[in-house]
Amino acid sequence: MTNGEHIRLEDLELLALGALPENEAEAVQAHVSGCDECAARLAEARGNATLLAFATKQEQPAGTIKAELMARVRANRQSEEMNAWPTRLHTESPEKKEKERSSGWLTWVLAAAGVLLALVSFGLSWQNRRIVAQLEQERKVAESSIREREQIEKLVGMLAAPDTLTVKLAGQGEMANATGLVKFNAKAGMVVYEAANLPELPAGKSYQMWLVPVSGAPVSAGLLGPGGRAWGNMWTADVPTNMPAKAFAVTIEPAGGMAQPTGPKVLLGAT
């Protein structure tokens, strides 16, 4: 009956259905009264049995079913008694006959309960997995919405801050007619670039923004276009906070960007 130190789940489920033999039921009840884990599993099994009772459609049997059933019982009983008459005439008491009939009904009830319990367990398990998957999907959507809202709030606050700089970018070399506009807040460590009239690049190439600090090597401020973080016709990027900038530049780099500028410079603007 036990599995290690605990009652087996099938015994708990049979007890919840009222289908566990009396002597075994008493032993299970005695164990459950002193075991919190088994008590919780028994409570869950009883809850499942209750749900099944409410979920099962109740049907009205046909008016003749009782008469037909009783006729079959009487016929079977007469046949059994006639076959066993020579050996049971002086040995069987009415109490023994009643016990055998009860045993037959108990076997049928236990078999039906086992099938029913298996169906209920499968249905509840499938339903639980579906609910967990739905909750996980909703959690991911909620977290994504929270992150997006926080980013928008940060963007709006940065654009409205009095210490945010506006830097105009001018075209360089073959793209002398190109223009651009950068919003930069050193305290927030955020760069916003407004899309300009830059031509589309061939496959395998990307536009990359650079923050040129007062001292030290250029710092990547993200990709413009595919691979970058876009908001409408703007791209945003995070850079180290409190880093003073003396200029911003845009270069053409391999797709995905580089750690340091390697390609031709197409836009440049001093702060």
The residues facing 181 across adjacent strands are 168, 194
Residue 150: band (very low, low, confident or very high) from pLDDT cuts 50, 70, 90: confident
pLDDT at position 209 over 80: yes
pLDDT at position 194 over 70: yes
Q: What is the pLDDT of residues 35-80, one digit of tens each?
A: 888 888 888 877 666 655 555 444 444 555 445 545 554 565 456 5
- Indicate whether 139 belongs to any domain: no
Tokens standing for residue 74: 């009487």
Tokens standing for residue 63: 């008016």
- Indicate whether 88 belongs to any domain: no
pLDDT at position 85 over 50: no
pLDDT of residue 248: 94
Residues 161-183, mean pLDDT to the nearest whole number? 89
Q: What's the distance, Cα to Cα, between the start and end of the chain in Å?
A: 80
Q: Answer yes or no: are the C-beta atoms of 186 and 242 closer than 8 Å.
A: yes
pLDDT at position 167 over 90: yes
- For residue 227, give its domain range: 165-270
Q: Answer yes or no: are the C-beta atoms of 173 and 193 closer than 8 Å.
A: no
Separation of alpha carbons 112 and 238, rounded Å: 65
Q: What is the pLDDT of residues 217-226, one digit of tens each?
A: 999 998 887 6
pLDDT at position 211 over 60: yes
pLDDT at position 263 over 90: yes
- Indicate whether 218 belongs to any domain: yes
- Indicate whether 215 belongs to any domain: yes
Query: Could you identify the residue written with the tokens 């049979």?
Result: 14
> In total, how many domains does the chain have?
1
Element (H, E) at 67: helix 65-88
- Indicate whether 182 belongs to any domain: yes
Residues 155-173, mean pLDDT to the nearest whole number? 88
- What is the distance, to the nearest Å, from the Cα of residue 103 to the centroid of all Cα atoms in its chain? 47
Residue 5: band (very low, low, confident or very high) from pLDDT cuts 50, 70, 90: confident
3-class secondary structure, 107? helix
- Indicate whether 248 belongs to any domain: yes
pLDDT of residue 96: 52
CATH of the domain at 248: 2.60.40
pLDDT at position 227 over 50: yes
Q: What is the pLDDT of residues 89-130, one digit of tens each?
A: 444 455 555 555 555 555 655 666 666 666 667 667 766 777
pLDDT at position 237 over 50: yes
pLDDT at position 245 over 90: yes
- Indicate whether 153 belongs to any domain: no
- Picking from 140-154, 188-202, 241-255, which range would have the lowest pLDDT averaged per residue? 140-154
- Indicate whether 256 belongs to any domain: yes
